[in-house]
Structure 1
Amino acid sequence: MSGHSKWHNIKQKKGKEDAKRGRMFTKIAKYIMVAVKEGGADPEYNPSLKVAIDKAKAENMPNDNIERAIKKGAGADSGANYEEVVYEGYGPSGIAVMVECLTDNRNRTAPDVRHAFDKFGGNMGTPGSVSFMFDKKGLMVIEAEGVDGDELMLTALDAGAEDVSDEGEVFEITTAPEDYHAVRQALDAQGYTFVQSDITNIPQNYTTLTDADDIKNMQKLIDMLEDNDDVQEVYHNWNQPEDDE
């Protein structure tokens, strides 16, 4: 995983989320509720719920909100029945895009996602059209300030991490999905705090856009998708320019 840093993209995304924190908390609450419905309210026996809680904590979601979402998901009448749907497509100049959604109405969500692609110079593809260009990985991001990189690397690798990379501002720890929890637990035990902690999709390669219109449209496509209440995550292989912050 060394070479290209994903941190710039994560930083940009988190900056936008900070401005829309209420919406982000609502999306994570939905994610928690679905995880509880599918696997129960005890994170020790529900890996999906544990991932959802890790994600919530990395976003500084208050514990009260987390507990409320767990209780709501465990309730007999916990509202709409959400299902996970992944849409795949291409942004301007063939940028690969995966859109993870939790929806209670595919007939609403699919046209909305398709409209975003069409509006900004992309097109929605068929299932599997771009997912092969991404690897599902556990990813933990820890701010580098005050952290001994050698100690972090030893702890993470001993616990089963695939790689620890020093990206300057942060360290990025990647794992196989099945090793994520063991590595996260080992780092938790050593008192590390996380900027990001999730099972995510990481591009195998990144693509740079050079045309100004393509850059503008790609950013607008991401923004429009992330503003959709049904969209949980937008993954892409665009190497966003540093001056785009």
Structure 2
Amino acid sequence: MSGHSHARTVKHKKEASAAQRSKAFSKISREIAIAVKEGGADPAINSKLRGAIETARSFNMPTENIERAIAKAAGGAETGDLQEILLEAYGPGGIALLIKGITDNKNRMLGEIKQILAQHQGKMVEGGAVRWMFDQKGAITLDPKGANKEELELKAIEAGAQDLYWREDSWLDVFTLPQELEQVKAKLETQGLVPEAASLDWVPKEHIEVPEETKAAAEKLFSALDEHDDVQDIYSNISA
């Protein structure tokens, strides 16, 4: 997946059932809550909240749901003991994993994630054992919609892209420096290119090729992790 979250890919969201969408809305509400807790309720001065709102809109989350989530968080009703954590692990075939979570009970989440990993040929590792294999970057996904690939690449480079990655689904991932994500996204939009998704992602420094059976086992692990209420995003170094 070239660094984008396995838990909430763009195609998955468009095919999601009502139950899946409800779970996605709940997770996005937590993203909004943690963003408000860290930087306040005004998206004009809180870039993290702006990003969470854009994510919500990309999932077609109703505006009233977004506003309600912000209001609850601003009043302290939703934040409580919420904290954002990044777990490191190995999965099937020794693939490297970063698991981002938002939880109000870190110890409980750690225990439950360890159990899920153990059931799917994986194991949690100490902090730093895996993270060095990834860089945090701005990640923007574009649907070419039949556009000339070279022209699209040129526009992305002119907008300030640091790196480009064509996925197997023919969509283009545009990577930026973390602090330049919004700037590059805005420049793309002025060129008529509306991103399907834009976020800060953990991108592997190197992708690894694995057998199909390992990919299948990894997908089962990703699905199991995604079912956990506290898991927000999952990143791996599997080649797309």
Tell me the TM-score range normalised by the shorter chain: 0.7 to 0.9
Q: How far does residue 184 in structure 1 lie from its aligned partner after superposition? A: 1.4
Aligned to 1:32: 32
8 Å contact kept, 1:40–1:74: yes
Q: Note closer, same or farther for the CA distance 1:217–1:171 as it changes in structure 2 (3 Å cut).
A: closer
Matches within 5 A, 1:140-219: 140-147=140-147, 152-153=152-153, 155-165=155-165, 167=167, 169-210=170-211, 212=213, 214-219=214-219
Between stretches 161-170 and 80-89, larger displacement belongs to 161-170
In 1, the alpha carbon distance for the partners of 2:76 and 2:89 equals 37
Secondary structure, counterpart of 2:44 in structure 1: helix
Aligned residues: 235
Q: Note closer, same or farther for the CA distance 1:191–1:71 as it changes in structure 2 (3 Å cut).
A: farther
Q: How far does residue 72 in structure 1 lie from its aligned partner after superposition? A: 1.6
Deviations along 1:170-204, whole A, 9 cap, x unmatched? Answer: 23211010100111122233443222211101112
8 Å contact kept, 2:88–2:129: yes
Q: How far does residue 56 in structure 1 lie from its aligned partner after superposition? A: 2.1
Aligned to 1:6: 2
In 2, the alpha carbon distance for the partners of 1:68 and 1:12 equals 22
8 Å contact kept, 2:209–2:238: yes
Between stretches 72-81 and 180-189, larger displacement belongs to 72-81
What is the identity percentage for the equivalent residue pairs of Structure 1 and Structure 2?
34
Q: Note closer, same or farther for the CA distance 1:149–1:67 as it changes in structure 2 (3 Å cut).
A: farther
Letter in 1 for 2:218: M
**Aligned residues: CA RMSD:** 2.7
Between stretches 96-105 and 5-14, larger displacement belongs to 5-14
8 Å contact kept, 2:90–2:97: yes
Aligned to 2:100: 100
Structure 1 unaligned regions, length at least 5? 241-245
Q: How far does residue 210 in structure 1 lie from its aligned partner after superposition? A: 2.3
Structure 2 unaligned regions, length at least 5? none
Aligned to 1:58: 58
8 Å contact kept, 1:58–1:197: no
Between stretches 161-170 and 61-70, larger displacement belongs to 161-170
8 Å contact kept, 2:2–2:237: no
TM-score (norm 1): 0.84
Aligned to 1:243: none
8 Å contact kept, 1:84–1:100: yes
Q: How far does residue 10 in structure 1 lie from its aligned partner after superposition? A: 6.1
In 2, the alpha carbon distance for the partners of 1:163 and 1:211 equals 27
Letter in 1 for 2:93: S
TM-score (norm 2): 0.86
Q: Note closer, same or farther for the CA distance 1:162–1:185 as it changes in structure 2 (3 Å cut).
A: same
Letter in 2 for 1:127: G
Aligned to 1:85: 85
Q: Note closer, same or farther for the CA distance 1:9–1:184 as it changes in structure 2 (3 Å cut).
A: closer
Q: Note closer, same or farther for the CA distance 1:181–1:129 as it changes in structure 2 (3 Å cut).
A: same
Q: Note closer, same or farther for the CA distance 1:191–1:69 as it changes in structure 2 (3 Å cut).
A: farther
Letter in 1 for 2:59: E
